[in-house]
A = this chain, B = another copy of it.
Amino acid sequence: MSRRRWQGRGGAVRAVALLALLVSATTTPITPIYDSALDLNDTHHLYWRVDYPSEEISFEVHTRGSSKSPWLALGFSDRGDLVSADLCVLWTDWHGRVHFQNAVVGASERLQITEDQDCLKFRHKVRGEVIKFTFTRKFDTCHPHHYVIQGGTTHVVWSGGAGPLYRLGGVLARGEEWGVIRLQLLKPPLPSPQHHDQDCKVLQVRSKKVRVPAEETTYWCTVVKLPDSFATKHHVLQFGPVIERGNEDVVHHMELFHCEYEPGVTVPLYQGPCHSPDRPREIDVCKRVLAAWAMGAEAFVYPEEAGLPIGGPDFNPYVMLEVHYNNPSLYEGRVDSSGLALHYTNQLRRYDAGIMELGLEYTDKMAIPPGLDTFTLSGYCVPECTALGLPEGGIYVFGSQLHTHLTGVRAWTKHIRAGRELPEMNRDNHYSTHFQEIRRLPRPTHVLPGDGLIMTCEFSTLDRENVTVGGFAISDEMCVNYIHYYPRVDLEVCKSSVDTASLQNYLQFMKRWSLQATSSEAGWRENYHAIRWTPLRAAMLADMYANSPLSMQCNKSSGARFPGYWENIPIPRILHPLPPYQRKCDQTKDLPRETEDAGGDSFLE
């Protein structure tokens, strides 16, 4: 959990104090300070501020130690493991002298002092039980083996224990306490939104005391009629989760759908499993996405020029909340009333905002073989579809929520125009399914008709015994980018799946040439499971995906396809890629072996 200070939930006094403190340590203009507890008890708390011009982050840690001279390590690792983490470590020697060193964790799980010391500008102060310390860290230290802080998710790892220590090198990295939290450290430097005006109201759409089934996957649907005030059009300015306390572990994601008007259809106020045979046919009209949230995300705030339209004379006043309960421990007796809170106003903004799905269709035509370090899948929003679905002036994408299930580790969306690659829309090189934020983009992406959008996901299946197939269960996979944009258009789904004939060819080839028990009688999922996966068969599958034409979902919010033949579409190719990313690492650096507190200057209040 991270938050901007102005969104503060408690801890405001300390945060305000801190703000002053960090300002005193730098001379740059005021930029937002973010903070997050490192542990459930908030024994350790992290604050940070990003200095984009100098490409460094200032960190401050407050820790309530039980030990008089504890050590505390805080740093970064690719996926949250302590092994190979790059840590900044505060520790005290037997003379009571406080040290601050940069160390990495080797395969032996012990701390190794690094030759290059990149935890800089260390200061610390003790206030009773609380130790406070600050340091800075460059995004990219340019030193080999040191973590590079990038946009998207950062796995912040920490560990600590009782001291004093003789020396830091050789200490077991896993102390008496340790943990990992996922943060978007490099939040985009957007102007702070104005406080919502007085007309702003909150609508909560929640499930009603759902008895969460003792099953791994449950999609629970709750249809709600909007209050009469929505007879006039409003704009949603912000939406966020309302999670029932104690159910944070089972509420995986939520979506709010609008039930569009269809002549003669009265939407029943259904409450029950979404995929039940008892689900009334009438609620099939509830499929236009209004809002979405997934585990790990904060509330989403719209840019000033746009709001999500809701209500009005032609607006069918029904919405459906779909909650995905992920209950792999098969807990019994959980009762849940979680949902979404919408901040809305009748002071309409300039543009209506919309949500669109990019990436791969939800289908078991896609699969990820087991035992692989990485396997890449891409879903395409092809020029043929944007040419039909987008207005002449294009759309501006201001938010993006990358979405996979458990095996996704990296995801990005490329943007092409006439074969030329434009700057990436979004990227997360340390994606985690447990931290799916709807993120505001640093700059909106302007997508024109005829542009192509390529959503790519990397999956890691080293710990899977069996193939992972596309689908809705949490053990299945997805590769989607839910983009938030304005002005709203009728195109809601622009996703692809592999051409059916190509996939059939592959399965036929597996049968004929590799003697696998694939069959034209069986379904895709069954066929994928019939293959004994080897790296070669996986590589051939990847090759088939990468070189086969597409079947497109180019769909309106009604679920209907845009007119056209959407099979056998060529993959949009990047003919002129962007130049490869250049690190700013030409200069050599001399850094002190160890950073010590200069002492003297009191910079903490």
**Residues of chain A having any CB pair with chain B under 8 Å:** 512-515, 534-537, 539
Contacts and interface: CB of A to CB of B under 8 A. Distances in A.
Contacts of A536: 513-514
Contacts of A539: 513
Contacts of A514: 534-537
Nearest to A537: B514
A566 B256 CA distance: 74
Number of copies: 2
A139 B259 CA distance: 80
A512 B539 CA distance: 12
A41 to B, nearest CB: 47
Nearest to A509: B536
Q: Which of A512, A515, A537, A539 has the most CB of B within 10 A?
A: A515
Nearest to A371: B515
A537 to B, nearest CB: 8
11 contacts: A512-B535, A513-B534, A513-B535, A513-B536, A513-B539, A514-B534, A514-B535, A514-B536, A514-B537, A515-B534, A515-B535
Contacts of A515: 534-535
Contacts of A534: 513-515
A165 to B, nearest CB: 44
A547 to B, nearest CB: 18
A537 B537 CA distance: 11
A535 B509 CA distance: 10
A509 to B, nearest CB: 8
A535 B515 CA distance: 8
A210 to B, nearest CB: 45
Nearest to A536: B513
A477 to B, nearest CB: 23
A537 B514 CA distance: 8
A478 to B, nearest CB: 28
Contacts of A535: 512-515
Nearest to A538: B513
Enumerate the 3 nearest inter-chain pairs by beta-carbon distance, A residue then B residue, closest first. Answer: A513-B536, A513-B535, A514-B534
A495 to B, nearest CB: 31
Given A513-B539, A514-B536, 6 more contacts: A512-B535, A513-B534, A514-B535, A514-B537, A515-B534, A515-B535
A114 to B, nearest CB: 33
Nearest to A510: B536
Contacts of A513: 534-536, 539
A536 to B, nearest CB: 4
A512 to B, nearest CB: 7
A469 B465 CA distance: 34
A198 B534 CA distance: 72
A515 B534 CA distance: 6
Q: Which of A514, A515, A536 has the most CB of B within 10 A?
A: A536
A83 B256 CA distance: 70
A417 to B, nearest CB: 37
Contacts of A537: 514
A513 B372 CA distance: 11
A373 to B, nearest CB: 13
Nearest to A515: B534
Nearest to A540: B536
A566 B15 CA distance: 78
A515 B372 CA distance: 13
Nearest to A513: B536
A313 B539 CA distance: 68
A514 B532 CA distance: 10
A374 B466 CA distance: 35
A304 B536 CA distance: 59
A512 B372 CA distance: 12
Nearest to A516: B534
Contacts of A512: 535
A537 B539 CA distance: 15
A542 to B, nearest CB: 12
A512 B371 CA distance: 13
A514 B536 CA distance: 6
A534 B515 CA distance: 6
A514 B515 CA distance: 14
A513 B540 CA distance: 11
A461 to B, nearest CB: 15
A535 B512 CA distance: 7
A198 B3 CA distance: 115
A535 B534 CA distance: 15
Nearest to A512: B535
A510 to B, nearest CB: 9
A23 B513 CA distance: 56
A540 to B, nearest CB: 9
A39 B533 CA distance: 54
A512 B535 CA distance: 7
